[in-house]
């Protein structure tokens, strides 16, 4: 079966399972070639609903996770988004079709370089990849309408709360064990109002004190 057919089938499944909901997110998924964001040897697996290794002990998230997080972020064409954990760049590529601008922070320099290449090759011009410790956010471009963290945080990093606009949405996997809770928080009157969307599994956030 061709990758195009695999992709169509995956999207139909994600719709049937209720992970893909809105027309614009479905369209953004359809327009984003996941095969361009994974190592060549996994090309045939590009549209399996599973995480895949991208090197340095890291993974590209499973498509259903990208679908869930993208929908929960309620992307708008006017949004400036901060992502923590660029990884392959795939999540940012999906979002690039839905928002105005994305800054994505990656800890591992080699992965930052790879994400940048992948995004350039696939024509995602409104994404800027930066290298650093995302637990500090990216103050230079604040404030953000939305913030999405794609690695597990033991607690909500204060700088992220501070760099989020009033009314903005922050999504992150919260917890220290191998499994975390997916938290969606909206900044309301200067404080985060949190909702728990259940168990998820992400690679941990790393920082300079604790590589
Ligand atoms: N969003 C990615 C998947 C991310 S995997 C994708 O679509 O492919 C999590 C990524 O977070 C890894 O690449 C890891 O290196 C990165 N990471 C871990 N700790 C980080 C930190 N403190 N700041 C920025 N990135 C971090």
pLDDT in tens, 36-90: 999 999 999 999 999 999 999 999 999 999 999 999 999 999 999 999 999 999 9
pLDDT band per the 50, 70, 90 thresholds, residue 207: confident
Whether the CB of 14 sits within 6 Å of ligand 1 = no
What atom in ligand 1 is closest to the CA of residue 115? 8
User: What per-residue confidence (pLDDT) applies to 208?
Assistant: 54
Range 27-35, long-range pairs (CB < 8 A, 24+ positions)? 27/97, 28/70, 28/94, 28/95, 28/97, 28/98, 29/63, 29/66, 29/67, 29/94, 31/97, 32/90, 32/93, 32/94, 32/97, 32/122, 33/122, 34/7, 34/60, 34/63, 34/90, 35/3
Higher pLDDT: 208 or 89? It is 89
CA of 156 to the centre of ligand 1 (A): 16
Q: Give pLDDT, residue 51.
A: 97
Helix, strand, coil share (%) of the chain residues, nearest 5: 35, 30, 35
Q: How far apart are CA 40 and CA 53, in angstroms?
A: 11
Q: How far apart are CA 70 and CA 1, in angstroms?
A: 27
Q: What pLDDT band is residue 1 in, cutting at 50, 70 and 90?
A: confident
User: Is the model's pLDDT at 191 over the cut of 70?
Assistant: yes
Is 2 catalytic? The answer is no
Hey, which bits of 92-179 come out as E strands? 101-106, 127-131, 144-149, 164-174
Q: What digits encode the pLDDT tens for the residues 97-140?
A: 999 999 999 999 999 999 999 999 999 999 999 999 999 999 99
CA of 137 to the centre of ligand 1 (A): 13
What is the reported pLDDT for 177? Answer: 86
pLDDT in tens, 138-188: 999 999 999 999 999 999 999 999 999 999 999 999 998 889 999 999 999
Task: State in Å: Cα 87 to ligand 1 middle.
Answer: 5
Q: 134: which residues sit within 8 A by CB, 6+ positions away?
A: 84, 85, 105, 106, 107, 149, 151, 205
| Residue-level pLDDT at 211 | 42
Do 146 and 73 form a contact (C-beta atoms < 8 A)? Answer: yes
């Amino acid at each position: 079966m061709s990758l195009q057919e695999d992709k169509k089938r995956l999207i139909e499944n994600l719709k049937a399972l209720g992970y893909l909901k809105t027309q614009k997110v479905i369209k953004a998924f359809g327009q984003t070639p996941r095969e361009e964001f994974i190592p060549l040897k996994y090309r045939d697996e590009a549209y399996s609903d599973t995480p895949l290794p991208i090197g340095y002990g890291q993974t590209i998230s499973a498509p259903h996770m990208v679908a869930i997080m993208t929908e929960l972020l309620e992307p708008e064409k006017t949004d400036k988004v901060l992502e923590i954990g660029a990884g392959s760049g795939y999540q940012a590529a999906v979002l690039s079709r839905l928002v105005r601008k994305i800054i994505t922070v990656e800890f591992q320099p080699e992965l930052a370089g790879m994400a940048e290449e992948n995004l350039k090759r696939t024509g995602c011009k409104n994404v800027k990849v930066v290298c650093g410790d995302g637990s500090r956010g990216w103050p230079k471009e604040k404030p953000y309408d939305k913030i999405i963290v794609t690695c597990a945080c033991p607690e909500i990093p204060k700088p992220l709360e501070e760099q989020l606009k009033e009314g903005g949405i922050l999504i992150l996997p919260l917890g220290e064990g191998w499994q975390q809770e997916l938290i969606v928080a909206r900044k309301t009157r200067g404080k985060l109002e949190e909702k728990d969307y259940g168990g998820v599994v992400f690679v941990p956030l790393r920082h300079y004190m604790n590589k």
